[in-house]
Amino acid sequence: MKIIAASAHSAGAEGQNVLELANDADPLVQNLADVARIDLHFPKFTDGRAYSQARLLRQRLKFAGEIRATGDVLIDQLVQMARCGFDVAVLREGVDVADAQRQFDRFHAFYQGDVAHPLPHFRDAA
């Protein structure tokens, strides 16, 4: 997962077709044909609807473009964001990118499957 500081985030990147999807929007009714990036917003860290949207975009809609987490993104949520299908997370102001990246060193494997590795860990070993 790519992690960027809030100051480096541009809402509508030059030359990209970016869709900013509201938390209450249904991804199933969106036209994603020419969309290169989808920004999913976390209005506060306790609102997890963007996790469901990311998983739906990846698994059911087979969206292959970039999914970016914006808003109230905490570093302890980054691993779960990656497992749900996010490619990029935009950190809040004042959060160190290096501290955030270290979150991925804490967990080396997961028993449950996820978007990137749908089989559970015990099935991978068989």
Please write the tens of the pLDDT for every residue from 45-65.
889 999 999 999 999 999 999
Predicted confidence at residue 103, as pLDDT, reads 85
Please work out, in degrees rounded to the nearest 5, the angle formed at the alpha carbon of residue 41 by the alpha carbons of 36 and 42. Answer: 150
Amino acid of residue 92: R
> Among 7-16, 34-43, 83-92, 93-102, whose mean pLDDT is lowest?
7-16
- Nearest 5°: phi and psi at 98? -65, -40
pTM for the whole thing? Answer: 0.83
Predicted confidence at residue 62, as pLDDT, reads 93
Asked whether residue 113 carries a pLDDT value surpassing 90, the answer given is: no
CATH of the domain spanning 2-125: 3.20.20.70
| E strand residue ranges, 1-126 | 2-4, 18-21, 37-42, 66-71, 88-90
